[in-house]
Amino acid sequence: MKECDIIIIGAGPTGLFTAVNINGKSILILEKKPTAGKKLLMSGSGRCNITQSGSISDFFNHYGDGKRFLIPALKEFTNNNLIEYLRIHGLRTIDIKGKIFPESEDAYDVLDLLLKECKKKKVSINYNENIQKIEVIDKCFSILTDKDSYRCNQLVISTGGKSYPTTGSTGDGYHFAKALGHTIEKAKPALAPVYIKNYTFSELSGISLENRKIAIVRNNQTIRTNQGDIGFTHWGFSGPGILDLSRYIEANDTLKINLINQNPETFREHINQTAINDNKITIKKYLKTFAIPESLIKLILADLNVEPSSHISGISKVQRNEIIRLFCEYPFIVQRTGDFNIAMATKGGVSLKEVSSKTMESKLVKNLYFAGEVLDIDGDTGGYNLQAAFSTGYLVAKNIS
């Protein structure tokens, strides 16, 4: 049996960053894949959206139900701390509309930095090694893999969630945590596109709407709302506004999308007044003033049997009411969200009730730590998940050291 001070399970960004911030202890990372950081290389379509600019307090509302848990970690290691860490270690960053990327816009440069730091710190990484069993024996952790057995004083589980399983994120950490007595909140795809029932907007695929209001309605009650960019696809919707809501969306929910970002009653008054003041304006020309593409206007008007060239003043009251309803609250019935193969994050994981937010240590097992997406935390799109990975990893390292 091989012994070391600390074993970290998972050589993703969380595990690597945890390792390089621990001082004075022997560290072994166990990774089941043949290489490290496979999911990191996919982030930001390979460009690696590391974090966001601005105040760290602006981050707090971007983590769904787990936001309060993350506050100590985010305060301990902020976005600016991360940017400075990368700079000190030779990696410059750029700010593109508030999103922070490596200057090269190449995720490999971030991974290369972390691996070089691991080498400097003499962190050992064993690849292609699958863990079969973890036990606590005499206050130490005994780990059996398909190749060897190990013993360590402190254990960090940073295996990620279940999204993009080909990268190695297959939920293994949940099994390890459960075997050690932890509760696992049900895993669900997050940051996933949405598939719509009886979808008739396929021809709009590739078109996007900026900063639109979206509501999830279930059993006639509004469950969640969001405002953000929406992208039409061949089968439904994507884009940040939808992706960030997807953690809450369930099959048969209704998504009500405000295509023109107008209050229905305000829009009603406006369209009626326009019909009086300008009886020659067509409905197509009028609707285009709300920054929506002509193809979308034509598609919805066709469903209402309204000619785009019709003058507003000549449209019946019933048709006008339907125009108001559909352009302000177009209802789409959800078939499903994208599965883990295409979801960018995971909602669910190790219950936050059983982990200290100030140290990331288990409240049930001494010297057991969790970091990153294996926990029941998931951030919005735009670098928030990587920031959480680095912040929780840093907090683990600080408390272990």
Above 90 in pLDDT, residue 279? no
**Looking at residues 80-85, what average pLDDT do you find?**
98
- Do 89 and 130 lie in one domain? The reply is yes
pLDDT for the residue 7: 99
**Looking at residues 118-141, what average pLDDT do you find?**
97
Enclosing domain of residue 81: 2-189+343-400
- Do 185 and 197 lie in one domain? The reply is no
Phi, psi (degrees; rounded to nearest 5) at 383: 95, 0
- Do 79 and 101 lie in one domain? The reply is yes
23-45 burial, b if ≥16 CB within 10 A, otherwise e?
Answer: eebebbbbbbbeebbbbbbbbbe
Hey, what amino acid is at 23? N
Judge contact between 62 and 74, C-beta under 8 A: no
Task: Indicate which CATH number applies to the domain containing 121.
Answer: 3.50.50.60
- Do 103 and 27 lie in one domain? The reply is yes
- Choose one of 338, 361, 391: the last residue of a domain: 338
pLDDT for the residue 362: 99
DSSP-derived letter for residue 254 is E
| Pair of tokens at residue 194 | 């949405």
| Pair of tokens at residue 101 | 């990327």
Above 90 in pLDDT, residue 146? yes
- Do 45 and 184 lie in one domain? The reply is yes
State the chain's mean pLDDT as an integer: 97
- Choose one of 320, 338, 356: the last residue of a domain: 338
* CA separation for the pair 217, 259 (Å, rounded): 16
- Do 329 and 386 lie in one domain? The reply is no
Could you report the per-residue pLDDT of 192-251, keeping only the tens digit for each? 999 999 999 999 999 999 999 999 999 999 999 999 999 999 999 999 999 999 999 999
**Looking at residues 80-97, what average pLDDT do you find?**
98
pLDDT for the residue 280: 87
* CA separation for the pair 350, 376 (Å, rounded): 5
- Do 216 and 246 lie in one domain? The reply is yes
- Do 39 and 139 lie in one domain? The reply is yes
- Choose one of 338, 368, 383: the last residue of a domain: 338
- Do 181 and 33 lie in one domain? The reply is yes
- Do 6 and 134 lie in one domain? The reply is yes
> H-type helices in 53-140, by residue range?
67-76, 79-88, 107-120
Give every CB contact of residue 156 below 8 A, 6+ residues apart in sequence: 6, 7, 8, 9, 15, 18, 369, 370, 371, 396, 400
Give SS3 for 362.
Answer: strand
The count of domains in the chain is: 2
pLDDT for the residue 278: 86
What are the residues facing 134 on neighbouring strands?
143
User: Residues for the chain: how many in total?
Assistant: 401
Above 90 in pLDDT, residue 401? no
- Do 162 and 21 lie in one domain? The reply is yes
Angle at 161 between CA 81 and CA 378, to 5 degrees: 55
Helix axes 384-400, 67-76, angle to 10 degrees: 70
- Do 59 and 176 lie in one domain? The reply is yes
Above 90 in pLDDT, residue 346? yes
Could you report the per-residue pLDDT of 176-197, keeping only the tens digit for each? 999 999 999 999 999 999 999 9
**Looking at residues 123-134, what average pLDDT do you find?**
98
**Looking at residues 248-267, what average pLDDT do you find?**
97
Above 90 in pLDDT, residue 90? yes
